[in-house]
Amino acid sequence: MKIKVARDRWLNRPAFLFAAIGSAAGLGNAWRFPYVCYQNGGGAFLIPFLIALITAGIPLLILEFALGQKMQAGAPGAIAKIKKGWEGLGWGAIIISFVIMTYYAVIMAWGWNYLTSSLSVAWRGKAAEFFYRDILSLTVSPLNLGEISVPVIIGLALTWLIVWLILHRGVKVLGKVVLITVPLPVILLLILTIRAISLPGAFEGLSYYLKPDFSVLLDYNVWLAAYSQVFFSLSLGFGIMIAYASYLPRKSDITSNAIITAIADALIAFIAGFAVFGTLGYMAGVQNVDVEGVVTEGIALAFIAYPEAISLLPVGAGIFGLIFFLTLITLGIDSVFSITEAVITGFDDKFKISRSNLVAIICILGFLSGIIFTFGSGLYWLDIIDFFITNFGLAIIGLLQCILVGWVYNPAKMRAFINPISDRNLGVWWDYSIKYFTPFVLGISVIAALIQRIRFPYQDYPTSSLFLGGWLIIVLIIPISFFLAKVKASQDDFYLKP
């Protein structure tokens, strides 16, 4: 039996808050929110979005903060302390995090490549070619593996080196780093926005982003889009917020921290929309096409459409390219820190390996597993795995967490822990949200995603690759989680309530 060491701690409350906001505000804010908003009623979407934030996003965030803080453990430990038989649920979150971590780091690797090519605007006039051919060496199908892309694997190694440097000493160092990597992209986004709205055509773009269409409020798909965006954006269901809160002293505020994190995350997404749509509006004007003809989301927005738009700037294309990719990297990197930390915390709590060894092992494993995505077919695999794991993984874990606390434990008991230590009082409505409402919405999301997958399978990918990268991974998570839950903890206090 090893000697018990005191739990690592954040330096202060702002360090924790910045880290939580940094996790929440990631690529999703920049490349997903603006598009989802545009597609689901423009400015009118803000109504379902805010309602989703208040009725389910903030309640689940409070739940995750409370779990970590009360139990002083990451997802597996915190859940095991509530009900030993449920520990596997925590491991499910950790494995999902591990998978996401491996490909999120690859997206950072692409970002480094663009960052170093930005001053020369290497993609001017050929953004798609630059991305698919020069960076990725893309093959024609996921089954056509291709070769490892040297620039991507170098970028991947760089990402993991940075993650290791920042995480291996614990959350104190991380707390200092996020004081820079969280405000910096916000400042840069503001610079990009100001530049964008001073361009001709920008307002045309913005009107696509925000022009309200209130009729969509009757469409349940719009509400579903709002709830999924909120859950994903707050990094819920991955064990991240549980791990981060476990490094706070037991008697720290919970409710206000959750509200601040949620508002900051939403604001960052909202601002990003101005930079994105303003710039796309300008490009549509220059190319003399409709704004609809240039809007995209996700990888295509960040690595093709937006860089192309910037390359059309009359002056400063290089500088603004640099600013944009610096924004992308600083937005994304603290999400990578958080998801890696969730994995580290899960293993650290149970197996008590020395922190520095554990972090090195996880960074090396993260790098090695990420190599699959550096092949010429990597983009396809990333796309397939991302779809399955974020659609099903997040919602299933979130749903089970609600059932655990809402039905197996007792939300009123949890609230009795939260209220005396929090700045503000959480009403009984929270119990209802955790017991009925949030699990209901999450359940519907899982069913909707399933139906969508069955009715509209990816036409662009062979079935065998969907089976391998999608269903197989989802199914494998279950036995691995049970296995990790069954392995004996190296310290008995893993199951003891603090």
Q: Given candidates 22, 26, 285, 321, which one binds ligand PHE under the rule CB under 6 A? A: 26
Per-residue x/- mask for ligand PHE, residues 422 to 461, rule CB under 6 A? ----------------------------------------
Q: 197 or 336: whose CB is closer to ligand PHE?
A: 336
By the rule CB under 6 A, 29 interacts with ligand PHE: yes
The single-letter code of the amino acid at 116 is T
181 binds ligand PHE (CB under 6 A): no
Residue 168 carries which DSSP code?
T
Apex 359 CA angle, 357 and 362, nearest 5: 110
| Shortest distance (Å) from residue 233 CB to ligand PHE | 4
Nearer to ligand PHE, 40 or 335 (CB): 335
Query: Which residue shows structure tokens 């916000």?
Result: 186
- The binding track of 55-94 with respect to ligand PHE, each residue x by CB under 6 A or -, is ----------------------------------------
Between 26 and 281, CB nearer to ligand PHE: 26
Closest to ligand PHE by CB, 82 or 167? 167
Is residue 185 within the footprint of ligand PHE (CB under 6 A)?
A: no
Consecutive H or E run containing 463? helix 463-466
Nearer to ligand PHE, 181 or 235 (CB): 235
Distances (CA, A) of 248 to 244, 423, 497: 8, 15, 16
23 in contact with ligand PHE (CB under 6 A): yes
Span near ligand PHE by CB under 6 A; candidates 21-29, 70-78, 252-260, 463-471? 21-29
Helix, strand or coil for residue 288? coil
Measured CA distances, 93 to 240, 283, 328, 389, 396 (Å): 9, 41, 25, 11, 10
Closest distance to ligand PHE from the beta carbon of 222 (Å):
19
What DSSP string runs through 140-161? SSTTS---B-HHHHHHHHHHHH
Nearer to ligand PHE, 123 or 232 (CB): 232
d(CA 212, CA 359): 47
Place of tokens 């109504």: 47
CB of 391 to ligand PHE, least distance (A): 13
> Which tokens go with 288?
């003399």
Residues 227-246 that bind ligand PHE (CB under 6 A): 232-233, 235, 238
Cα-trace Rg, the chain = 22
Q: Are 102 and 348 in contact (CB under 8 A)?
A: no
Nearest in space to 350 (alpha carbons), one of 251, 248, 244, 243 = 243
In terms of CB distance, is 73 or 107 closer to ligand PHE? 107
Residue 359 lies near ligand PHE (rule: CB under 6 A)? no
Give alpha helix (H) positions in 72-201.
75-82, 87-117, 127-129, 150-167, 171-181, 183-197
CA 77, 79, 81, 85 dihedral sign is negative
Determine the Cα–Cα distance for residues 283 and 470; give it in Å rounded to an integer: 36
Instruction: Pick the closer one to ligand PHE by CB: 29 or 391.
Output: 29
Candidates 2-10, 22-30, 46-54, 185-193; binding stretch for ligand PHE (CB under 6 A): 22-30
Going by the DSSP 8-state scheme, the letter that residue 375 receives in this structure is: B
4 sits in the region (left: phi over 0; alpha: psi -120 to 50; else beta) called beta
Hey, which residues between 328 and 347 contact ligand PHE (CB under 6 A)? 335, 338-339
Q: At its nearest, how many Å lie between ligand PHE and the CB of residue 12?
A: 23
Nearer to ligand PHE, 29 or 279 (CB): 29
Judged by CB under 6 A, the residue of 24, 37, 94, 167 near ligand PHE is 24
Q: Which is nearer to ligand PHE, 185 or 281 (CB)?
A: 185
Q: How many residues bind ligand PHE (CB under 6 A)?
A: 14
| Smaller CB separation from ligand PHE, 18 or 232 | 232
Closest contact distance (angstroms) between CB of 234 and ligand PHE is 7
Smallest separation, CB 32 to ligand PHE (Å): 7
Our finding on whether 100 is near ligand PHE (CB under 6 A) is yes
CA distance 224 to 209: 19
The one segment of 26-34, 170-178, 213-221, 345-353 that binds ligand PHE by CB under 6 A: 26-34
Terminal Cα-to-Cα distance of the chain (whole angstroms): 18
- What is the sign of the dihedral through the CA atoms of 489, 491, 493 and 494? negative
What minimum distance in Å lies between the beta carbon of 92 and ligand PHE?
15
Residue 307 CA to residue 323 CA, distance in Å, equals: 11
- With contacts defined by CB under 6 A, name the span among 23-31, 192-200, 285-293, 363-371 that binds ligand PHE: 23-31
Between 26 and 151, whose beta carbon lies closer to ligand PHE? 26
Per-residue tokens: 183: 């405000």
Separation of alpha carbons 150 and 420, rounded Å: 54
Site for ligand PHE in 151-170 (CB under 6 A): none
Binding site for ligand PHE (CB under 6 A): 23-24, 26-29, 100, 232-233, 235, 238, 335, 338-339
